[in-house]
């Protein structure tokens, strides 16, 4: 295996003080194992507005370890934007992104580098085993990836998260996408370039508890669908056509009952109320969908920065750098 000139590993961190000591240890072990295949290793830890001791721990570690770089965001911007901040800070020719909970084992990075040297610009780490995830999460994840792939037309590998490798040219093209609502799991396949995957068994969280409850997963799912497809907007046409067909059929049924069967036309209070309720509910639903897309246009038009970096800490700097970069 030929040597890679430089590698950056980007890790968003949010309230991970319980797992950080073990993460530091595993990353240093990974750094040692990569010396034979990588000239320079850079590890970028992005603190996404943690309320615990995560940033002081990251800052202290970065000041004493040359390979580590700490990025402190001014507040909690969310996982995807913290990841974007780390990717923009990374200086390596090859960049690997992963989570801080050690469910993504650093040892897989060597396999990803081997795949990259075979000519692939993007290498996904795909889970063979999803650990102790609940049945509901497994099923919903499977349906979500099937649905978003059908709606967007972009092929996304199932059972993959944000544990991936990207070449510098792929990362450069990705950085040009300045969408207010980032969904990297859809944007990375969208940019193209040769892509492949390696497989691994996902471990359980090393310490602490998950920071992605059902509410955040649903938000991420809708962000993914709305960012990658306009299909929800087209749903209005399908519903209108379906309702039109139903009520035209109902009119023909009434005419048949009156003129063919001779039944009198009796005003139907129940049918009227049902019609009003159905139309009202669907109108509110579609207004909500329209409003969601309109809100995204509004947010995009404001041109606000995706994130704000408060501090960047490196071991070779005497003072904390405050670039206010976004």
The CA distance from 54 to 51, in Å, is 8
- Condensed to tens digits (0 to 9), the pLDDT of residues 176-226 reads 877 766 777 778 888 888 999 888 877 665 555 555 555 666 666 666 666
Tell me: do 217 and 248 sit in the same domain: no
Q: Are residues 211 and 261 in the same domain?
A: no
Nearest 10 degrees: CA dihedral of 260, 265, 266, 271?
80
The answer to the question of residue 101 being in a domain is yes
- Determine, yes or no, domain membership for 147: yes
- Three-state SS for 29-62 is HHHHHCCCCEEEEEEEEEECCCCCCHHHHHHHHH
User: Are 194 and 262 part of one and the same domain?
Assistant: no
**Same-domain pairing of 154 and 184:** yes
Given a cut of 90, whether residue 72 has pLDDT beyond it is yes
Average of per-residue pLDDT across 303-311 = 69
- Together in a domain, 136 and 282: no
The total number of structural domains in the chain stands at: 2
Contacts of 18 (CB under 8 A, 6+ apart): 207, 208
Same domain, 275 and 193: no
Q: Is position 296 within any domain?
A: yes
Residues 115 and 66 in one domain: yes
147, pLDDT greater than 90: no
Point out the least confidently predicted range of 29-38, 139-148, 163-172, 176-185.
139-148
Residue 47 pairs in a beta bridge with 13, 72
Q: How far apart are CA 10 and CA 184, in angstroms?
A: 14
CATH code assigned at 72 = 3.90.550.10
Alpha-carbon gap, residue 240 to 254, rounded angstroms: 21
| Predicted local confidence at residue 131, as pLDDT | 58
Taking the whole predicted model, whether its pTM rises above 0.85 is answered as: no
Between residues 305 and 207, which one has the greater pLDDT?
305
Provide the domain limits for residue 265. Answer: 231-302
Residues 145 and 243 in one domain: no
Distance between CA atoms of 243 and 282, rounded to whole angstroms? 10
In the chain the first and final C-alpha atoms are separated, in Å, by 37
Per-residue confidence (pLDDT) for residue 317, from 0 to 100:
47
pLDDT of residue 127: 82
Say whether both 77 and 189 belong to one domain. yes
The whole-chain average pLDDT of the chain stands at 76
Instruction: Mark residue 262 as left, alpha or beta (left: phi above 0; alpha: psi -120 to 50; beta: remaining).
Output: left
Instruction: Verify that 50 and 155 share a domain, yes or no.
Output: yes
Quick check: 136 pLDDT over 90?
A: no
Does some domain include residue 321?
no
User: Is 96 a residue whose pLDDT tops 90?
Assistant: yes
Q: What's the pLDDT band for 166 if we cut at 50, 70, 90?
A: very high
**Which tens digit of pLDDT belongs to each residue from 220-276?**
666 666 666 666 666 666 676 676 677 767 767 777 776 787 777 666 655 676 677
- 119 occurs within a structural domain: yes
Residue 164 has φ and ψ, to the nearest 5°, of -155, 160
In a domain, 324, yes or no: no
Q: Is the pLDDT of residue 93 over 50?
A: yes
In this prediction, residue 324 carries a pLDDT of: 45
Quote the CA–CA distance of 91 and 78 in Å, as a whole number.
22
In a domain, 323, yes or no: no
Looking at the domain assignment, is residue 37 inside a domain? Answer: yes
- The verdict on 158 and 260 lying in the same domain is no
């Amino acid at each position: 295996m030929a040597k890679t000139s430089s590698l950056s590993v980007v890790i968003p961190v949010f309230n991970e003080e319980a797992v950080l000591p073990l993460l530091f240890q595993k990353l240093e072990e990974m750094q040692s194992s990569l010396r034979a295949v990588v000239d320079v290793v850079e590890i970028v830890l992005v603190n996404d507005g943690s309320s615990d001791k995560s940033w002081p721990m990251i800052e202290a570690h970065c000041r004493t370890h040359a390979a580590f770089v700490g990025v402190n965001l001014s507040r909690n911007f969310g996982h995807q934007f913290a990841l974007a901040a780390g990717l923009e800070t990374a200086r390596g020719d090859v960049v690997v992104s992963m989570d801080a909970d050690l469910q993504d084992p650093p040892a897989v990075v060597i396999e990803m580098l081997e795949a990259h040297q075979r000519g692939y610009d993007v290498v996904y780490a795909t889970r063979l085993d999803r650990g102790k995830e609940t049945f509901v999460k497994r099923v919903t994840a499977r349906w979500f990836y099937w649905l978003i792939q059908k709606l967007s037309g972009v092929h996304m590998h199932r059972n993959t998260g944000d544990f991936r490798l990207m070449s510098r040219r792929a990362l450069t093209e990705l950085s040009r996408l300045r969408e207010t609502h980032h969904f990297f799991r859809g944007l990375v396949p969208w940019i193209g370039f040769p892509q492949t995957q390696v497989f691994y068994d996902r471990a359980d969280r090393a310490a602490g508890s998950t920071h992605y409850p059902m509410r955040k997963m649903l938000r991420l799912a809708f962000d993914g669908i709305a960012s990658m497809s306009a299909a929800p907007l087209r749903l209005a046409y399908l519903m209108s056509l379906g309702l039109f067909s139903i009520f035209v059929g109902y009119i023909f049924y009434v005419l048949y009952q009156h003129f063919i069967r001779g039944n009198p036309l009796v005003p139907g209070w129940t049918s009227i109320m049902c019609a009003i309720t159905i139309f009202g509910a669907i109108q509110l639903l579609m207004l909500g969908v329209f409003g969601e897309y309109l809100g995204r246009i509004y947010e995009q038009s404001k041109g606000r920065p995706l994130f704000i970096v408060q501090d960047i800490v490196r071991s070779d700097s005497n003072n904390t750098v405050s670039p206010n970069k976004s």
